[in-house]
């Protein structure tokens, strides 16, 4: 039982930084929890506050501390639910409480919603006539003017009263105090999708979809709220399942949150929800202004909406009676925050659901290895949709060995086979998508003759090219010079692999001069609306070929696309990140999922230098199970998550020396704990050694249990507070990092 409570007094958002310590009286010791609302003495007043932390460490002399007065009775306010979640985030991912709170609570905006005030007559018209006569007799002309108007109209806008009737606020107030009228205010919040028109809804679930819905809703009826992993091939109708579940939850008087990666949060997707649920839906995305986002927070809190759709941050929608959290495309790396606290939306959703008696549904065609592992361990319930709606066949996949192409004299990025099929599509008026998975080009080095890639002997990830002809492992710091010839086959055709979408566009235009070509990548989507514009142009068949990066493979539905070409499947395979194979499998499967969504069957061509790699073979066969078995064996062998847990400590500083010193110091510190459960790697340069003149060093620690790493983080945070040697260095924690 903790002795003290650190309390943030008054939930005015600017003051969140400071906590005050109070004694926990004996009678509250069993019931008090982090995140609860309490009454505390403050100066000579009594104020409400939130418990941020329970602790045994006194910040002051105990005799100077006052006790907590009481726990607030009126249920758990929504802010306090979110504060409890913030406390959970802080503990599990590191950072300060203030950072965690800022993640969870919206920043209060100055640009408030428009407040509309109006004045209403409270007494009967007959009584009002009597008052009117009285005011006229007394020559109270302003009062008389207002009352005459109110007898006519019942309700008048406040603005009209002051500006048109020229009646002052004090006159209104005087009549209000007499009980003659009431001033009412209504807030009109901005609604980002208020201009859309719902079209209604008419689909009936098929047997597979209905089964999934039945399992989850019957658990809900038994008040068993769990986490479900819905593994459904692309086009199997997962979104329809989500909507049916939401409608069930709404009938129970509860609310739902739907997380969708920002990039898949298109007009098309939003409309599907809007057509079914109309005004009960709201959305959040980064295109909304701060004020608009704050309005959505208030609309949710006031019960004006029951369904919130948005990316990661929509998870913190302040619904008071949350029943369901859906995470679509749950494998997406964007569900992990890239700033402190580096929380994962999936884990955080599960934590929030547990606090709210809500269920969590994770959906994906290619579940993350993490989630599938949890399902195999029995922590998540696995549900499957293994057929496309209307039994449309999955596309046919073939793998082209680019080494063979080179041997037979074709140096183009387009293999002979792919050119042949593209030609065929152009003649038949069907569309082609070309996909270049250009993730983290932090140059790996490979041999174009035999496909060999230079890897770290200790970590089994690719080494990265660095200045001065060095090759470096970003996990353990291992270094070697860049080879001049391939150590495997002796070819001089070895080097960094580079090719961009722009280059591909040139090549395609040259080869198919009559084709209409669109390109979608970071460069062509920088201006507002350009992303949607390209998608709708392609969807309206204003182009024959769409070339793009991962942006084009996420969830878009183009019925006329019958050919998908993956230009160099290896590219995402050899980044120095233990997720490389998983990302590759996922991208290839998603890309293949774009082909043949309409009447005509689809075809997929995967070009690669490494046709025997398990991620590529499994993607070719659309065989998740086989991929998973191989991948989990690799992760177990090298103790990567989810089999073990990993903590990344990032030390950054303007002075490289300072960052290095801090990293070495922390490493010693960790080793000194003598805890044999850890395995420490590094310090090493981060995959990007310097950003904006800030140097970056990393330490990786592996341990079997997550909790072991949380305790280590707490120890280090404590140590860092005491020592002053980290002054010019920033230290961040990243649990189970997504980008190595
Ligand atoms: P997923 O989310 O698994 O990719 P969707 O929910 O987008 O699948 O469904 C794919 C397509 O099939 C969509 O156009 C959707 O409207 C349609 N669809 C899904 N379920 C049904 C159903 N039960 N009856 C008719 N059409 C359906
Ligand atoms: Zn070679
Ligand atoms: Zn290494």
Share of the chain above pLDDT 90, in %: 41
Atom of ligand 1 nearest to the CA of 233: 3
Q: Is the pLDDT of residue 499 over 70?
A: no
Condensed to tens digits (0 to 9), the pLDDT of residues 331-346 reads 998 999 988 899 999 9
What residues does the ion ligand 3 have nearby, CB within 5 Å?
456, 458-459, 473, 475-476, 478
Task: Tell me the residue length of the chain.
Answer: 740
Helix axes 369-376, 624-638, angle to 10 degrees: 90
Q: What backbone phi and psi angles, to 5 degrees, belong to 562?
A: -120, 0
Question: Which of 678, 738, 728 has the alpha carbon at shortest distance from 703?
Answer: 678
Q: Answer yes or no: is 459 a known binding residue.
A: yes
Q: What is the pLDDT of residue 200?
A: 66
CATH 3.30.70.600 positions along the chain are 645-735
Q: Which residue(s) pair with 566 in the sheet?
A: 435, 606
Q: What backbone phi and psi angles, to 5 degrees, belong to 594?
A: -75, -20
What residues does the ion ligand 2 have nearby, CB within 5 Å?
447, 449-450, 452, 486, 488-489, 491
The gap from C-alpha 601 to its chain's centroid, in whole angstroms, comes to 33
Low-confidence winner among 182-186, 215-219, 586-590 (lowest mean pLDDT): 182-186
Condensed to tens digits (0 to 9), the pLDDT of residues 672-687 reads 887 778 889 989 888 7
Q: What is the pLDDT of residue 76?
A: 54
- What is the sign of the dihedral through the CA atoms of 582, 583, 589 and 592? negative
Please, what is the average pLDDT of the chain?
86
Q: What is the pLDDT of residue 186?
A: 65
Q: What is the mean pLDDT of residues 562-586?
A: 87
- Residue for token digits 């110091």? 665
Per DSSP bridges, beta strands 694-703 and 679-691 are: antiparallel
More confident residue, 201 or 204: 204
Q: What is the pLDDT of residue 594?
A: 81
Q: What is the pLDDT of residue 111?
A: 46
- Residue for token digits 């649990």? 735
Q: What is the pLDDT of residue 15?
A: 42
Question: Which of 318, 563, 577 has the alpha carbon at shortest distance from 462?
Answer: 577
If you measure from the C-alpha of residue 467 to the centroid of ligand 3, how many angstroms do you get, rounded to a whole number?
18
Q: Is the pLDDT of residue 112 over 60?
A: no
Atom of ligand 1 nearest to the CA of 272: 16
Question: In this structure, which ligand is nearest to the CA of 452?
Answer: 2
Q: Is the pLDDT of residue 10 over 70?
A: no
Atom of ligand 1 nearest to the CA of 203: 24
Q: What is the mean pLDDT of residues 443-454?
A: 82
pTM value?
0.79
At the topology level, CATH places domain 207-385 in Rossmann fold (3.40.50)
CATH 1.10.1740.110 for the 396-441+499-638 domain, yes or no: no
Condensed to tens digits (0 to 9), the pLDDT of residues 318-335 reads 998 999 999 999 999 899
Condensed to tens digits (0 to 9), the pLDDT of residues 609-661 reads 889 999 999 999 989 999 999 999 999 998 999 999 999 999 999 999 999 99
Class of CATH domain 4-104: alpha beta
If you measure from the C-alpha of residue 453 to the centroid of ligand 2, how many angstroms do you get, rounded to a whole number?
8
Q: Answer yes or no: is 450 a known binding residue.
A: yes
Q: Is the pLDDT of residue 575 over 80?
A: no
Condensed to tens digits (0 to 9), the pLDDT of residues 31-66 reads 887 767 788 998 888 887 778 788 898 888 888 899
> Which two tokens mark 694?
């800030």
- Max mean pLDDT among 52-66, 114-128, 464-478, 578-592 falls in 578-592
CATH 3.40.1440.60 positions along the chain are 4-104
Condensed to tens digits (0 to 9), the pLDDT of residues 135-174 reads 999 988 889 999 888 888 877 888 888 888 888 888 888 8
Share of the chain above pLDDT 70, in %: 91
CATH 3.40.50.300 positions along the chain are 207-385, 396-441+499-638
| CA–CA distance, 281 with 260 (Å, rounded to integer) | 14
Residue 240 CB less than 6 A away from ligand 1? yes
Instruction: Choose the residue to mutate in 239, 388, 553 for probing ligand 1, maximizing ligand atoms within 8 Å of C-beta.
Output: 239
If you measure from the C-alpha of residue 443 to the centroid of ligand 2, how many angstroms do you get, rounded to a whole number?
17
- Max mean pLDDT among 185-199, 211-225, 575-589 falls in 211-225
More confident residue, 389 or 371: 371
Q: Is the pLDDT of residue 74 over 70?
A: no
Q: Answer yes or no: is 669 a known binding residue.
A: no
The gap from C-alpha 259 to its chain's centroid, in whole angstroms, comes to 7
Atom 25 of ligand 1, nearest CA residue: 203
At the topology level, CATH places domain 645-735 in Alpha-Beta Plaits (3.30.70)
Q: Answer yes or no: is 397 a known binding residue.
A: no
Atom of ligand 1 nearest to the CA of 240: 6
Omega prior to 683 cis, within 30 of 0: yes
- What is the sign of the dihedral through the CA atoms of 423, 429, 430 and 436? positive
**Contact call for residues 352 and 169 (beta carbons, < 8 A):** no
| CA–CA distance, 412 with 408 (Å, rounded to integer) | 11
Q: What backbone phi and psi angles, to 5 degrees, belong to 677?
A: -75, -20
Q: Is the pLDDT of residue 11 over 70?
A: no
| CA–CA distance, 266 with 271 (Å, rounded to integer) | 9
Q: What is the pLDDT of residue 362?
A: 98
Atom 19 of ligand 1, nearest CA residue: 237
Atom of ligand 1 nearest to the CA of 242: 6
């Amino acid at each position: 039982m903790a002795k003290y409570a650190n309390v943030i007094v008054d939930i005015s958002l600017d003051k969140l930084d400071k906590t005050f310590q109070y004694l926990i009286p004996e009678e509250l010791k069993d019931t008090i929890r982090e995140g609860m609302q309490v009454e505390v003495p403050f100066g000579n007043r009594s104020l409400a506050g939130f418990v941020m932390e329970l602790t045994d460490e006194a910040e002051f002399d105990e005799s100077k501390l006052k006790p907590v007065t009481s726990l607030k009775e009126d249920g758990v306010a929504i802010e306090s639910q979110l504060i409890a979640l913030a406390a959970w985030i802080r503990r599990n991912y590191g950072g300060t409480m203030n950072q965690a709170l800022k993640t969870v609570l919206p920043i209060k905006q100055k640009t408030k919603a428009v407040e509309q005030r109006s004045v209403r007559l409270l007494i009967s018209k007959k009584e009002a006539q009597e008052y009117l006569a009285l005011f006229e007799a007394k020559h109270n002309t302003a009062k008389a003017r207002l009352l005459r108007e109110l007898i006519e109209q019942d309700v008048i806008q406040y603005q009209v009263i002051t500006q048109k009737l020229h009646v002052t606020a004090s006159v209104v107030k005087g009549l209000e105090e007499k009980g003659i009228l009431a001033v009412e205010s209504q807030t009109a919040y901005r609604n980002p999708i208020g201009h859309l028109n719902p079209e209604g809804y008419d689909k009936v679930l098929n047997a597979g979809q209905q089964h999934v819905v039945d399992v989850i809703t019957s658990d809900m009826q038994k008040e068993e709220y769990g986490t479900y992993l819905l593994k459904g091939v692309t086009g199997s109708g997962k979104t329809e399942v989500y909507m049916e579940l939401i409608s069930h939850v709404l009938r129970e008087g509860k609310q739902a949150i739907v997380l969708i990666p920002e990039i898949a949060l298109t007009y098309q997707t939003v409309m599907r929800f809007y057509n079914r649920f109309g005004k009960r839906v709201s959305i959040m995305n980064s295109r909304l202004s701060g004020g608009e986002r704050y309005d959505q927070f208030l609309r949710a809190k006031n019960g004006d909406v029951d369904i919130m759709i948005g990316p990661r941050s929509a998870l913190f929608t302040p619904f008071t009676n949350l029943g369901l959290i859906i995470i679509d495309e749950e494998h997406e790396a964007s569900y992990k925050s890239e700033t402190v606290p580096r929380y994962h939306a999936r884990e955080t959703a599960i934590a929030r659901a547990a606090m709210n008696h809500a269920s969590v549904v994770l959906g994906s065609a290619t579940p993350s290895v993490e989630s599938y592992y949890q399902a195999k361990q029995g922590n998540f319930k696995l549900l499957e949709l293994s057929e496309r709606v209307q039994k449309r066949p999955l596309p046919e996949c073939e793998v082209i060995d680019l080494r063979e192409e080179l041997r037979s004299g074709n140096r183009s990025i387009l293999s002979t086979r792919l050119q042949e099929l593209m030609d065929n599509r152009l003649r038949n008026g069907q569309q082609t998508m070309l996909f270049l998975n250009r993730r983290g080009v932090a140059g790996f080095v490979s041999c174009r003759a035999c496909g060999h890639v230079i890897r770290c002997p200790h970590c089994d990830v690719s080494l990265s090219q660095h200045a001065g002809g060095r090759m470096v492992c970003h996990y353990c710091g291992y270094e070697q010079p860049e080879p001049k010839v391939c150590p495997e086959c002796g070819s001089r055709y070895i080097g960094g692999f580079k090719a961009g979408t722009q280059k591909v566009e040139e090549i395609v235009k040259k080869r198919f001069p009559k084709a209409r070509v669109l390109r979608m990548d970071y460069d062509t989507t920088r201006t507002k609306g350009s992303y949607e514009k390209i998608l709708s142009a392609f969807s309206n068949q204003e182009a024959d070929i769409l070339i793009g990066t991962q942006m084009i493979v996420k969830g878009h539905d183009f019925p006329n696309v019958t050919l998908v070409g993956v230009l160099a499947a290896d590219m995402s395979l050899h980044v120095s990140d233990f997720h490389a194979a998983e990302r590759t499998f996922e991208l290839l499967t998603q890309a293949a999922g774009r082909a043949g969504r309409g009447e005509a069957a689809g075809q997929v061509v995967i070009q690669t230098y490494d046709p025997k790699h398990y991620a590529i073979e499994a993607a070719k066969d659309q065989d998740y199970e086989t991929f998973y078995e191989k991948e989990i064996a690799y992760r177990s062998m090298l103790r990567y998550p989810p089999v073990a847990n990993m903590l990344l400590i990032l030390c950054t500083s303007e002075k490289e020396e300072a960052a290095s010193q801090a990293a070495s110091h922390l490493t010693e510190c960790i080793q000194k704990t003598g805890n044999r459960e850890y395995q420490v790697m590094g310090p090493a340069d981060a995959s990007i050694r310097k950003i904006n003149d800030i140097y970056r060093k990393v330490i990786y620690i592996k341990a079997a249990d997550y909790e072991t790493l949380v305790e280590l983080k707490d120890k280090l945070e404590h140590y860092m507070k005491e020592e002053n040697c980290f002054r010019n260095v920033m230290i961040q924690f990243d649990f189970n990092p997504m980008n190595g």
